[in-house]
Chain A
Amino acid sequence: MIGPIAFDRGNIIPIMPILRANRAFTRVRHLPTCRSIAFILSITLLVASARSEFPEKPIKIIIPTNTGGEVDTMARIFQRALQQNSIIPVKTVILNLPGAGGTLGTRRLKESPPDGYTIGLWTPGIVTSKTMGIVTYDHSDFAIIGRTGYSELALGVLNSSKYDSIESLIAQSKERPRSVKVATNIGLPVHLTPLMFAEGAGIEFNFVQTGGGSKRLASILGKHTDLSLFSLLEFIKFGSTGLTPLVVLSNERTGHFPDVPTAKELGVDLVMNDARIWIAPKDTPPERIEYIANALKSVMALPEIIEEYKTLGIYNEFGEPEEIDAFLDNMSERVAPLVAKARKL
């Protein structure tokens, strides 16, 4: 599939510094002593930099959402841990690049120099943005560093709704197609995952665009929509408001909600989790990827992070790149045939 023609505008920005550098250079040329000193200095620097080990300057973490978003908060928890425990000798800088479903951020990361000094944190949305035709790249155009934990997902309703179990929801939905309104963010995993479920169960949902996590929750609480995808933690956290899971999308039933069936039990082959995936530009040297992966692993082993993961409802389990690659490949394959449906709404 050929995507929209893209003009690369990224080149405009560095023009100014280059011009200035040139001017400085011409001035220096008239002073031979200065030039030789500069030469010797730069050689020394080059040698020094060749010897010293990665990392030696701050590492930028590109976050494709606003400050305060879920992914951003996750990155900042890591930033805090890296800073307080001196796990790496340099600082980390968080760069928020929100917009266009996270694609502004992922594109900047893709175009960043592959030297390990620019990395990013994102979600399986990296796959859906391509399938929806917003961008022409997906996870295979990045080097995957790893996944720092995941949370289980479930589809749920308000306990006062007319759907008291997933069976009754499917039955009523078969009787009256498109009668179940699903609060979603069109084109993102939160849209395509319920769509995959509907396909598997042989029903049709009516997707309603509501926006990010908090707006979906507000829409469910206000009974404007019926069903939405949330992480298990959200079901636990907002349980007092009446938010109840109907079906979990994990391999087995969970301890928190032992009575809630899995999609597999219903004959729907859908296991999906909400992963936070660290990525780097494609040709980043493998040893630097490994260095960063090890730093992330050490953060995850810190007692306070283990505690924090528990309260955030995230499984403290590092996902190796191969595993994540396979997971995203599988998702990409399964989502692709649904694109026509997803776009039609």
Chain B
Amino acid sequence: MEFFNALQHVLSPYPFLWIFIGVAGGIFVGAIPGLGGGMLMALTVPLTFSMDSTNAVLLLMGMHVGSVSGGLISATLLKMPGTPSAMMTTFDGHPMAKQGQPGKALSLGIGASLFGGIISGVFLIALAPPLSNFAHKFGPWEYVTMVMMAMVLIASISQGSMLKGLMAAMLGLMAAMPGLNESDGQLRLTYGFDSMGDGFNLLPVLLGIFVMSQIIKDALEINKKGVGIAMSKTERIFPKFGEWKRHTVNIARSSCIGTWVGILPGIGASISSMVAYGIAKTFSKNPKRFGTGHDEGIVAAESANNANAGGALIPLITIGIPGAPVDAILLGAMIMHQIQPGPLLFQTNGDLVWSLMTGYIVANIVMFLIMVFSARHLAKVVNINRTYLIPVVFAFCLIGAYAPSNRMFDVWVVIGFGVVGYFLDRARFPLGPFVIGYVLAGIMEAELRSGLQMSEGSFGPMMTRPIAATFTVISIVFLVYSLVQEWRSRKTIPTTESG
């Protein structure tokens, strides 16, 4: 059987060594806020020219898997997502760590990552062609309604004031507006600055809002003794899988969502964890506890973003379409190794495809083992004196912003949004909705306008296309439901106050 042949190949010394190096390197850069897998892969591609093509692909794929997972470490311990996809992990991972359970938070994240990876790996091996065909059914209207559903589901994600959450989301939406508007090919809100031609990019905005704002906050409070997160020696990191039974549904659901969003081209891993988090919250018995260090939140976010990596490989190997920007790098590397990705890849380079698919599962297991056994050492990072830690993170943050587009403008964006984030945080505006608004606004607008171009201005397809209609109905039902809930709780509060 091909699977076992490929497994045998992948576990032989050299390919396995490359996977191991890739995963370890990926975890390392993933854990550093600012540096990410895409950057590492782009820098590595020229070094693989002299390597065997299968080994090169395994190395790059390992880096991707590692970096997606590594981000959870800094998200949990420092409240700084190491990679954009770890953003949702900060919401529950960090509060849990702060409450004195950093080991449990890490162990939940690592375990969920493993399951997410394996589940999407199974989809990759067993169902790649049909899933990829089905993904084509997703057109602009399906995207719009799906994102709309995600928005409704996570509308109440913020703790505290709902109004402030909405205001933060609107500000995030505004941050997504400037730049070249692809839907009509014209520049918008650039105020004559050439550098604004591409607007504010995802990575610099995210680094600014989450990481730089935290750096500013820490730097200003450097003399105050912070609440240290201490990990006791006895706290175990290796997940107690016996206790995971109650997460089964959550993991399965979040991994399916992650895989599916991964298959859809042009939607990032951060959106998969947003959708999974929103749905997990909706179906949870304790939705109120989300955002306060709830285990279900960590599990949903981390299984979804790892599953996303596997899902994104599906269109890559079945038709040669990258499911995510990092897969475009993988695709480019294949072409440079004289492999033509496309619908015939299975026939022309079957061995490579099988190695890639089995390698993906192996990479996830390697990731799990490395993370479990190194988490205790990595966790020491929180004990490092902030005076030393802040400058290092600051430097990496700026390098990470500069590198992907090689321009200084992105560095200013990080600093600018850092200041914005700092003041928003001081005024008790939640930062999550800001970034969610920013991320979802871009894709929502682009897809909605494409849809309207297709339908010549009619919103009808939202209800006439079956998949889109399903999403629309769910959104409306949930919106009404949450408004009713809100209204009821408002009605009860005054009575308790008066009584």
Contacts and interface: CB of A to CB of B under 8 A. Distances in A.
A76 B192 contact: no
A71 to B, nearest CB: 10
A100 B197 contact: yes
B139 A222 contact: yes
Interface stretch (B161-169, B220-228, B355-363, B449-457): B449-457
A132 B344 contact: no
A108 B49 CA distance: 28
A237 B343 contact: yes
A225 B453 CA distance: 11
B391 interface: no
Nearest to B318: A241
Contacts of B315: 218
A240 B193 CA distance: 46
Contact of B185 (A83, A206, A210, A342): A342
B136 A209 contact: no
Interface string B23-41: 0000000000000001001
Contacts of B190: 4
Specify which of A69, A96, A100, A178 lies most central, judged by the most chain B CB atoms within 10 Å of its CB: A100
Contacts of A240: 343-344
Contacts of B328: 66-69
A68 B322 contact: yes
A276 interface: no
B243 interface: no
Interface in A165-201: 178, 181, 185-188, 191
Contact of B138 (A208, A211, A222): A222
Contacts of B42: 67-68, 96
Nearest to B139: A224
B265 interface: yes
Given A134-B185, A221-B136, A224-B139, A214 B265 contact: yes
Contacts of B180: 99-101, 103, 134
B262 to A, nearest CB: 14
A215 B265 contact: yes
Contacts of B344: 237, 240
B453 A206 contact: yes
Interface in B319-344: 319-322, 325, 327-333, 335-336, 338, 340, 342-344
B406 interface: yes
A127 B454 CA distance: 27
Contacts of A221: 136, 319
A13 B332 contact: no
Given A80-B49, A97-B405, A186 B184 contact: yes
Interface string B159-192: 0000000000000000000011011111100101
Interface in A205-229: 206-211, 214-215, 217-219, 221-225
A59 interface: no
A227 to B, nearest CB: 13
A324 B138 CA distance: 40
A9 B408 CA distance: 10
B327 to A, nearest CB: 8
A15 to B, nearest CB: 11
B194 interface: yes
A80 B336 CA distance: 8
Nearest to A236: B342
B192 A4 contact: yes
Contact of A343 (B49, B135, B186, B340): B186
A252 interface: no
A215 B266 contact: yes
Interface in B391-408: 404-408
A8 B195 CA distance: 9
A1 B136 CA distance: 42
Contacts of B407: 97, 104, 108
Interface string B373-412: 0000000000000000000000000000000111111000
A209 B446 CA distance: 8
Contact of B409 (A9, A103, A178, A210): A9
Given A5-B192, A237-B340, A83 B322 contact: no
Interface of A: 4-9, 12-13, 66-69, 72-73, 76-77, 79-80, 83-84, 94-101, 103-104, 107-108, 132-134, 178, 181, 185-188, 191, 206-211, 214-215, 217-219, 221-225, 237-238, 240-241, 308, 311-312, 342-343, 345
A-B pairs, top 9 by smallest CB distance, nearest first, are A187-B185, A99-B198, A68-B328, A100-B197, A222-B136, A224-B139, A68-B332, A186-B185, A67-B42
Interface of B: 38, 41-42, 45-46, 49, 135-140, 179-180, 182-187, 190, 192-195, 197-198, 201, 265-266, 315, 319-322, 325, 327-333, 335-336, 338, 340, 342-344, 404-409, 446, 449-450, 453-454, 456
5 contacts: A9-B193, A94-B46, A186-B185, A187-B186, A222-B137
